[in-house]
Structure 1
Amino acid sequence: MKTRAITGFFFVVIMLGSFFAGPIVYSVFFCLLSLLCLQEFYRLVRGAGIAVNQQTGLVNGAGIFAAVALSFYLNNALLSHKLVLLLAVTLSSIFIQELFKRSETPFTNIGFTFLGLIFTIVPFSFFHALGFVNGAFNSHFPMAFLIMLWANDTGAYLSGRWLGRTKLFERHSPKKTWEGFFGGVVIASLAGFIISLYFKELLWNQWISAAIIIGCVGTMGDLVESMFKRSLNIKDSGGILPGHGGLLDRFDGLLLAAPIVYTYLYFVLN
């Protein structure tokens, strides 16, 4: 527990530092973090005997994140679109590279290479976009997202431990309960209301709506990541965060919630 607390403290400090250091540091930090998650994903599937194209996948992951991120910095929309079109060339290399490999399951390798991009890079690109959802860079949105996500995780853990009786989805996550799920959503909503007192970009009910989305969809993301690990017969996605497991374990709720919360906020603000 002590190791978990110390790791969590420094992890939160680093995350908050990325928000306060300005848009460039924010973009670079989350690009690197998304690539570390992608690398962790590829390491896990390679351990299961699937020969993903790791280097090509990482290059494409960096390209996807950079193309999306640069669109917020460039005033020239045509140039931004050209950067995105370059991805057609780089992504095709995943198929072409497989032609020169001796593998009995080439499309399994190709499929998991693309799945890594969809599972990690795309969600982190949406999360990064939260900082620019209202036009100019504003760290309040991604910061609030993580606060509500962590509040949901903490609320679900405590509620499930104290009150948990009814299994939520035992086949994929035996410890999760409905009591924990509702407790997490309530605590996340409370965090959303408190955030509304300081971050005035949204009304209180809009922040709470975002918290409810994070609580519901984030839990689904957690279950999907559990399903992924169970399919590979592993307990933790890694050991990069002592006491917390791997990066995918830490950001599993973000993977599904970030795109949906971004979409919600985009329509609310625009």
Structure 2
Amino acid sequence: MSENITRSISGIIFIVLLVFCTLYSETSFILLFSIFALLAVYEFTKLVNISLIASFILVIACILLGVVFEKPDPTNNLMLCIATLFISVSLLINLFRKNATQLFYNDNLGKFFQLLGYVIFPFVIIMKLPYMFSSFTPQIVIGIFILIWTNDTFAYIFGKYLGKHKLFERVSPKKTIEGFIGGLVGCLAVACLLSLYFQFLSLGLWLLTGLVMSIMGTLGDLVESRYKRLAGVKDSGKIMPGHGGILDRFDSVIFATPFLYFILFFFR
């Protein structure tokens, strides 16, 4: 079986599983993203070399306390989001440092902070996102994945045929400025379409969502690329043939969603 066919099959299975479990029920949504979170934590521990058992205990505790058993509390959600954004911004500062040859925090405690802020808390926030509305609204999660997939697709097409200027060659040699602009334009166009079908957000907020997912999603991809470069690996894992690991599929979403949650918290 050729690599393209394998990649297509695994991609279709992933999309069908994601859409079905997200829309079927609250339980299937939480269960699926809990599994995704565990897999992402497993891959991250391999990238930065920290204890797998301690990491699993941490992610399970966060999901149970932050999602399963927690009563909805906007203040707690906001504080969780702010804590996540602190790590996210720190990772971005370190990403753009010249000659940065190590992680933001390189000791074990620092690595666990990165695990929390870069992987675990974002997954918890994704699981909280449908509850921002008057009733459970999982379509918002489908929407942000559609925007990320659109951004990636248009960035690839524009970068392949028009790309001449490197976006951030030191970390990701294949990304171009033209590809980034193409991804952003495609993302905003699809955001307009989403506003016609998913009317729990206005056109303006869908456009803002598209803007956030495109820009922060691209930065999230660069952050994960740097983790992999420091670890000396091409992919975060091998669970999805032709696509790599769960972190490779979720790097943009988990980085962008806390920024989106923070914005929607105030602008909805």
How many angstroms apart in 1 are the aligned matches of 2:64 and 2:163? 43
Hey, what's the Cα distance between the residues in 1 that align with 2:188 and 2:34? 29
Q: Based on CA coordinates, which of the two structures has the bigger radius of gyration?
A: 1
Q: Percent identity?
A: 36
Partners of 1:41 and 1:214 lie apart in 2 by: 22
Counterpart residue number, 2:83: none
Q: 2:101 maps to what in 1? A: none
1:235 matched residue in structure 2: 234
Shift in Å, 1:121:
0.8
Summarize the alignment of residues 42-191 of structure 1 with structure 2, pairs less than 5 Å apart: 42-46=45-49, 52-70=50-68, 74=71, 108-191=107-190
What letter matches 1:176 in structure 2? K
Deviation at 1:229, TM superposition (A): 0.7
Partner of 1:34: 37
1:57, 1:117 within 8 Å by CA — same for their partners in 2? no
Distance 2:127 2:113 in 1: 20
Q: Root-mean-square deviation (CA), in Å? A: 1.9
Structure 2: distance between partners of 1:146 and 1:71: 26
Q: Does 1:23 align with 2:26?
A: yes
> 1:242 deviation in Å?
0.5
Task: Give the whole-Å Cα distance in 2 for the aligned partners of 1:54 and 1:112.
Answer: 12
Distance 2:211 2:160 in 1: 21
Residue-by-residue CA offset, 1:220-257 (whole Å, 9 max, x unaligned): 00000011111111111111111111111111101220
Paired residues of 1:238 and 1:246 also in contact (CA < 8 A): yes
Contact 1:160-1:180 within 8 A present in 2 as well: yes
Pairwise CA distance, 1:53: 2.2
Q: What displacement does 1:45 show?
A: 2.6
Amino acid of the structure 2 residue aligned with 1:44: L
Q: Distance in 1 between matches of 2:112 and 2:205?
A: 37
Range with greater deviation from structure 2 (235-244 or 128-137)? 128-137
Give the gaps of 5 or more residues in structure 2.
81-105
* Aligned mates of 1:188, 1:62 — CA distance in 2: 33
Letter in 2 for 1:164: G
Contact 2:47–2:227 (CA<8 Å) still a contact in 1?
no
- Kept in 2, the 8 Å contact 1:53–1:109? The answer is no
Q: Distance in 1 between matches of 2:10 and 2:161?
A: 24
Could you tell me how far apart the structure 2 residues matched to 1:70 and 1:255 are? 19
Between the aligned partners of 1:243 and 1:185, the Cα distance in structure 2 is 25
Deviation string for 1:92-140 (max 9, x for gaps)? xxxxxxxxxxxxxxx8233223322222111111111111111421111
Structure 1, gaps ≥5 residues long? 47-51, 85-106
Conservation of the 8 A alpha-carbon contact between 1:131 and 1:140: yes
CA offset at residue 33 of structure 1? 0.8
Matched residues in 1 for 2:156 and 2:139: separation?
Answer: 25
In structure 2, the partner of 1:92 is none
TM-score, normalised by the number of residues in structure 2: 0.83
**Secondary structure at 1:175's aligned position in 2?**
strand
> Larger RCO: Structure 1 or Structure 2 (Cα < 8 Å, ≥ 6 residues apart)?
2
The whole-number CA distance in structure 2 between the counterparts of 1:62 and 1:253 is 22
Asked if structure 2 preserves the Cα contact closer than 8 Å seen for 1:124 and 1:255, the reply is yes
Match of 1:99 in 2: none
Distance 1:200 1:71, change over 3 A: farther
In 1, distance between residues paired with 2:254 and 2:138? 19
Q: Secondary structure at the match of 1:168?
A: strand
Moved more, 61-70 or 4-13: 61-70
TM-score normalised over the length of structure 1: 0.83
* Letter in structure 2 aligned against 1:60: L
Matched letter for residue 242 of structure 2: G
Instruction: Report the number of matched residues.
Output: 236
